[in-house]
Amino acid sequence: MKTKNASSPISDDLKRRLADARRVGFFTGAGVSAESGIPTFRGDQGLWKRMKPEELANFDAFMRNPDLVWEWYQYRRKIVHDAGPNAAHRAIVEMEALFEVEVATQNVDNLHRRAGSTTVRELHGNIERNYCVECGTRHDDIEIGEKDAGAARCACGGLIRPDVVWFGEMLPQSEFTRAEDFAARADVYFVVGTSMVVYPAAYIPNTARVGGAYLVEVNVEPTEFSRVAAESYFGKAGEIMPRIAAAAREARNV
């Protein structure tokens, strides 16, 4: 592992890898959206410090207290709705001019797509989509009011839930498989803004490693993954990713 702080230059090793790379993958977590004003889950300011995941992010909790869970998701939808992509999301989009790029994200905030990324695997779903737990009808045009009138219901009478993966639920199989396929074939694989503690999503960078990708971490602090990465850049994704994109352009003579 080679560690670098926010002001370290992008290494010659990484530039060389980028010069030769065809496929570049990104595995992202809440940290990539932190500078957009969306709270992360862990750490002192994290959502799971104040909220209990078992009361808010699982199916039984929803059926027991749909209004509470719905209210929490409406609150998060509003934050996401009012937020916009930041420099890290945009730097990842810029890489599409240089490489075949895929983003596998644990985030449900849709910000990679809103920034313009064309291939995004949403491993934990998308907070802007919803469906009925009874009949499966999609309800993606839910209003986000300041005051909420409790859990929304479908015309069939069933409860409408967010299309996100809750604890104890399976990841969307096709998204996971496609993310694994790309990771296995990637030449360089970036792990950006994730604590890397939630599985099975966190297996994906390991698939990239087994496939021979050059692994690069970007995070404000060391994680379990820092021991595995070839290089770790410690600093804000919104500052480091644009510098990596600039280094990639330089390496490709663009």
* Active-site amino acid positions: 124
**Helices 237-251, 87-94: crossing angle, 10 deg rounding:** 20
Size of the site for ligand OAD (CB under 6 A): 25
One-letter amino acid of 147: K
Beta carbon nearer to ligand OAD, 165 or 184: 165
Residue positions counted in the chain: 254
Which residues neighbour 157 within 8 Å (Cβ) at sequence distance 6 or greater? Answer: 134
Phi, psi (rounded to 5 degrees) for 76: -70, -35
> Minimum CB separation from ligand OAD for residue 123, in Å?
8
Count of alpha carbons within 13 Å of 74, Cβ hemisphere only?
18
Which residues neighbour 164 within 8 Å (Cβ) at sequence distance 6 or greater? Answer: 57, 73, 108, 124, 125, 126, 127
What ranges in 132-252 are assigned the alpha helix state H? Answer: 173-185, 204-210, 237-251
Residues 35-54 that bind ligand OAD (CB under 6 A): 35, 40-43, 46
Beta carbon nearer to ligand OAD, 20 or 54: 54
CA dist 135 and 156 (Å) reads 7
SS3 39: coil
According to the binding rule CB under 6 A, does residue 224 interact with ligand OAD?
no
In the list 34, 216, 229, 230, the residue contacting ligand OAD (rule: CB under 6 A) is 34
Beta carbon nearer to ligand OAD, 117 or 223: 223
> Minimum CB separation from ligand OAD for residue 254, in Å?
25
According to the binding rule CB under 6 A, does residue 76 interact with ligand OAD?
no
CA dist 19 and 15 (Å) reads 6
According to the binding rule CB under 6 A, does residue 228 interact with ligand OAD?
no
In the list 223, 230, 232, 243, the residue contacting ligand OAD (rule: CB under 6 A) is 223
In the list 142, 152, 198, 228, the residue contacting ligand OAD (rule: CB under 6 A) is 198
According to the binding rule CB under 6 A, does residue 193 interact with ligand OAD?
yes
Assigned token pair, 185: 């074939």
> Minimum CB separation from ligand OAD for residue 127, in Å?
10
In the list 10, 14, 25, 31, the residue contacting ligand OAD (rule: CB under 6 A) is 31
Give the binding site for ligand OAD (CB under 6 A). Answer: 29-31, 34-35, 40-43, 46, 57, 106, 124, 165, 193-195, 198, 218-221, 223, 236-237
